[in-house]
Amino acid sequence: MGFWTNRRVLVTGGAGFLGGVVIERLKRSGAKPGNITVADIKDYDLRRNEDCVRAVKDQDVVIHLAARVGGIGLNREITGTLFYENAIMGIQLIEAARLAGVKKLVALGTICAYPKFTPVPFKEQDLWNGYPEETNAPYGLAKKMLLVQSQAYRQQFGFNSIYILPVNLYGPRDNFDPRSSHVIPALIKKFADAKNEGRKTVEVWGTGNASREFLYVEDAAEGICLAAERYDGPEPVNLGAGFEIKIKDLVELIAKLMDFEGEIAWDRMKPDGQPRRMLDVSRAEKLFGFRARTSFEDGLRKTIDWYLANRKRGPKGLQEAVK
């Protein structure tokens, strides 16, 4: 509990979905509000080196959560932008933190960095055994470079940068914008809209045969903060819930929880993305004592309830609630 008491901590992306929950966890653990700096894009554009330098000044710990992300559609649409912005933000921030004498940096990677056909469950030692799934490879590789940089900086400069690999996150205050949202918020919005408009059919991308693993946002925040407090090693560490669900089963579960009784139409011309995703989460438990606590159905119910409560306020109200 005393780790954060007198430390100054920068949270990039701190005004975002995950960032807000991480900040709540930091405060519960003794971090003083005046010692927490939130690097939001309106104040710090981390694509600009001078903003990275300004953000890390006088900080003890940096938690780098800021990223440009989206679902399969966005990954196919702006591949170059996703590569450049995620790579340049991380590379500049890590260098600025090293030069500023930051004591520790937590770099958040992505499950998209794993090879397309990684054996399940994904083990950290398999990270370099192939090329990522094509639709999200530019994003995944950009984030993977932060692992290379972290390890190189540790070797040459003794800089304590650790690298965490989370699975897909979900929970209240997620991004429900259909242009850029991930699968769970996208599905929740689709079913809610169909019920509200009296439609009997919901269209879903792909075949439903691909599988995914999901981590509730509060569990993710706990894992990130535990890693910051307890882990100082060079090796990447998976952060997940240790389960796998097919997209078909996920769609049917959300439909059931939302009392949607209509038809689900699968657009098989759209891509499935990576065939399977599930992490081996044993290293996180061994190295810093993290294990996910929230059951998947409970997490989905909380996410659905939050969305339905806030969508009644209209698009603007929902946008404000997400922030």
What does the block give as tokens for 296? 């998947």
- At 123, is the secondary structure helix, strand, or coil? coil
In whole angstroms, give the CA distance from residue 129 to residue 115: 6
Q: Is residue 42 part of a domain?
A: yes
- Residue 176, domain member (yes or no): yes
Residue with tokens 């960032």: 19
Q: What is the pLDDT of residues 118-128, one digit of tens each?
A: 999 999 999 99
The pLDDT value recorded for residue 180 is 77
* Average pLDDT for 78-99: 96
CA 137, 141, 144, 146 dihedral sign is negative
Candidates 105, 110, 114; CA nearest to 149 is 105
Degrees, nearest 5: CA angle 137-142-147:
115
The domain in which residue 242 lies consists of 9-322
- Is 4 a domain residue? no
pLDDT grade for 74, boundaries at 50, 70 and 90: confident
Task: Band the pLDDT of 69: cuts 50, 70, 90.
Answer: confident
As for how many domains the chain has, the answer is 1
In a domain, 1, yes or no: no
Domain for residue 152, yes or no? yes
CATH number of the domain residue 282 falls in: 3.40.50.720
Q: Is the pLDDT of residue 41 over 70?
A: yes
Print burial letters for 266-285: b (CB count within 10 Å at least 16), e (below 16).
beeeebbbbebbbbbbebbe
- Say whether pLDDT at 109 is over 60: yes
pLDDT at 24: 97
Residue 225: inside a domain: yes
How many Cβ atoms from other residues are within 10 Å of residue 299's Cβ? 23
Contact at 8 Å (CB) between 139 and 76? no
Q: Are 51 and 61 in contact (CB under 8 A)?
A: no
Give CA 261 to chain center in angstroms.
31
Residue 269 domain flag:
yes
Is pLDDT of 141 > 70?
yes
In a domain, 3, yes or no: no
What contacts 176, CB < 8 A, 6 or more positions away? 185, 186, 188, 189, 307, 311, 318, 322
Taking only the tens place, the pLDDT of each residue in 188-228 is: 999 999 999 999 999 998 999 999 999 999 999 999 999 99
Active site residues: 139
3-state secondary structure of 212: strand
Element (H, E) at 235: none
